[in-house]
């Protein structure tokens, strides 16, 4: 089968030449960056967006000069959290040598970030598209696009190529480089080698447009993708930000009537969310649950008898940063609540006796999950 074709605007599905995306010029002067070595953030947006025009390519406001290609709307990625996890893992692996943090939750406005919208692009011949080649990443907060592939290899390659164009990287003729104009089914990287800059899938050689940076590491007309990203964003930065647990359920005043199945719903705030979090729950100091859960999560318990169950939840992100929260599950005898109040979180004024144990069900449907090694 033919491979995916990649052009300066992005990756194009195999198509006749008239359907392919033409190369584009640089959007900024060919200069060296004033803030070389400053880390950045890549936001992979799986949720889609309504796009705005007449405001450039500002990711913070969902602005794009390419919105007309999609009728100003990109639909969400519908592959589910397991595919999202695999795609983000692949993106993070390729960016691991550099100071680029990867998140799938929109950063705050105080953070400069590049956004790639990953989802339903509508009826397009291309797999991904970026607005321009931005030499030295002079224009912060750029917006680019990728079709929502389920394949982590294909998806991460498209995401990274579109982001890399907005960081000033051009196409090269090396099969092993993410900036190669034809993706042929293997796993390319940002290659630490000088490769010839090319214009299209015919590998027509071109002198390049961002040569001030290119020629720091290579001869004229060549590009070292690895060294340029290392120069732009520096080495990987340690994750020093602790996650924060936001307990959505149960609420402090929730009381359920036996044999209800209580649910624990958690939203996690973290600058590199989502990722796998080590989750442990204790009942009176005894661990009753330990597993690695992806992103925000929900758990369900089977309570063997009415009682008040004091619980502590601890989570740790992949760098070992932790947070914890204490809460209670309150379950009363059948009929102890007024019928119209049962399950609403209202109490009858009394406290049931404490029970010594409860059993945990699997995380609720729709959550990615992996077990820790024994």
**Segment 268-312, tens digit of pLDDT:** 999 999 999 999 999 988 998 999 999 999 998 888 889 899 999
Choice between 257 and 77, residue whose per-residue pLDDT is larger: 77
pLDDT of residue 8: 36
What does the mean pLDDT of the chain come to?
A: 85
pLDDT of residue 1: 32
Q: Where are the domains of the chain?
A: 4-233, 244-370
* Cα–Cα distance, 287 to 289 (Å, whole number): 6
Model confidence at 260, pLDDT cuts 50, 70, 90, reads confident
pTM above 0.85, yes or no: no
* Cα–Cα distance, 96 to 160 (Å, whole number): 12
Choice between 341 and 278, residue whose per-residue pLDDT is larger: 278
Q: Stretch 246-258: mean pLDDT, rounded?
A: 90
Collapsing DSSP to helix, strand or coil, 326 comes out as strand
* Cα–Cα distance, 274 to 265 (Å, whole number): 15
pLDDT at residue 14 tops 50 = no
- β-bridge pairing 263-269 and 307-316: unpaired
Q: Residue 233 belongs to what H/E stretch?
A: helix 225-233
The string over 299-338, giving b where at least 16 C-beta atoms fall within 10 Å of a residue's C-beta and e elsewhere, is bebebeebbebebebbbbbeeebebeeebebbbbeeebbe
pLDDT of residue 136: 94
Q: Stretch 215-243: mean pLDDT, rounded?
A: 97
* Cα–Cα distance, 129 to 57 (Å, whole number): 13
Q: Stretch 233-239: mean pLDDT, rounded?
A: 97
pLDDT of residue 363: 58
Tokens standing for residue 94: 């390729």
pLDDT of residue 214: 97
For 4-233, CATH gives: 3.40.390
- β-bridge pairing 307-316 and 276-283: antiparallel
pLDDT tens digits, one per residue of 144-203: 999 999 889 999 999 999 999 999 999 999 989 999 887 665 789 999 999 999 988 888
Choice between 13 and 105, residue whose per-residue pLDDT is larger: 105
Listed as own residue / partner, the contacts of 246-255 with beta carbons closer than 8 Å and 24 or more positions apart are 247/313, 247/325, 247/327, 250/327, 250/328, 250/329, 250/330, 250/345, 251/345, 252/327, 252/328, 253/345, 253/346, 253/347, 254/330, 254/345, 255/330, 255/331, 255/332, 255/337, 255/345, 255/346, 255/347, 255/348
pLDDT more than 90, % of the chain: 64
* Cα–Cα distance, 230 to 226 (Å, whole number): 6
Choice between 305 and 103, residue whose per-residue pLDDT is larger: 103
pLDDT of residue 184: 60
pLDDT of residue 88: 96
Model confidence at 21, pLDDT cuts 50, 70, 90, reads very low
pLDDT of residue 360: 54
For helices 81-95 and 152-166, what crossing angle results, to 10°?
50
* Cα–Cα distance, 136 to 160 (Å, whole number): 16
For 244-370, CATH gives: 2.60.40.10
Q: Residue 118 belongs to what H/E stretch?
A: strand 113-119
* Cα–Cα distance, 166 to 161 (Å, whole number): 9
pLDDT of residue 234: 98
Q: Which segment of 45-49, 185-189, 193-197, 352-356 scores lowest on mean pLDDT?
A: 352-356
């Amino acid at each position: 089968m033919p491979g995916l074709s990649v052009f300066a605007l992005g990756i194009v599905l195999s198509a006749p030449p008239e359907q392919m995306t033409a190369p584009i010029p640089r959007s900024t002067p060919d200069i060296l960056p004033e803030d070389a070595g400053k880390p950045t953030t890549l936001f992979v947006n799986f949720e889609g967006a309504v796009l705005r025009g007449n405001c450039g390519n500002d990711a913070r406001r969902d602005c794009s000069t390419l919105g007309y290609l999609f009728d100003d709307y990109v639909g969400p990625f519908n592959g589910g959290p397991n595919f999202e996890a695999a795609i983000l893992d692949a993106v993070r692996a390729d960016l691991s040598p550099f100071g680029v943090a990867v998140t799938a939750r929109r950063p705050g406005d105080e953070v400069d970030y590049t956004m790639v919208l990953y989802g339903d692009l509508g009826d397009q011949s291309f797999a991904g598209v970026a607005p321009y080649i931005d030499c030295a990443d002079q224009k912060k907060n750029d917006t680019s696009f990728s079709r929502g592939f389920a394949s982590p290899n294909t998806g991460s390659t498209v995401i990274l190529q579109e982001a890399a164009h907005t960081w000033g990287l051009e196409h090269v003729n090396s099969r092993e480089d993410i900036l190669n104009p034809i993706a042929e089914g293997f796993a390319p990287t940002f290659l630490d080698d000088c490769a010839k800059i090319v214009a299209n899938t015919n590998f027509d050689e071109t002198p390049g447009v961002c040569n001030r940076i290119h020629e720091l590491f290579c001869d004229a007309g060549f590009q070292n993708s690895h060294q340029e990203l290392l120069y732009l964003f520096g080495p990987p930065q340690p994750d020093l930000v602790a996650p924060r647990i936001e307990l959505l359920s149960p609420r402090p005043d929730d009381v359920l009537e036996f044999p209800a199945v209580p649910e624990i719903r958690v939203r996690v705030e973290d600058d590199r969310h989502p990722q796998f979090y080590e989750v442990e729950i204790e009942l009176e100091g005894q661990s009753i649950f330990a597993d690695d859960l992806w992103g925000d999560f929900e758990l369900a318990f089977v309570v063997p008898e009415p009682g008040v169950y004091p619980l502590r939840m601890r989570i740790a992100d992949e760098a070992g940063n932790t947070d914890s929260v204490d809460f209670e599950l309150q379950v009363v005898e059948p009929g102890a609540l007024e019928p119209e109040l049962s399950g609403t979180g209202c109490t009858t004024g009394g406290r049931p006796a404490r029970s010594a144990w409860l059993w945990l069900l699997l995380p609720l449907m729709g959550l990615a999950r992996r077990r820790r090694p024994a």
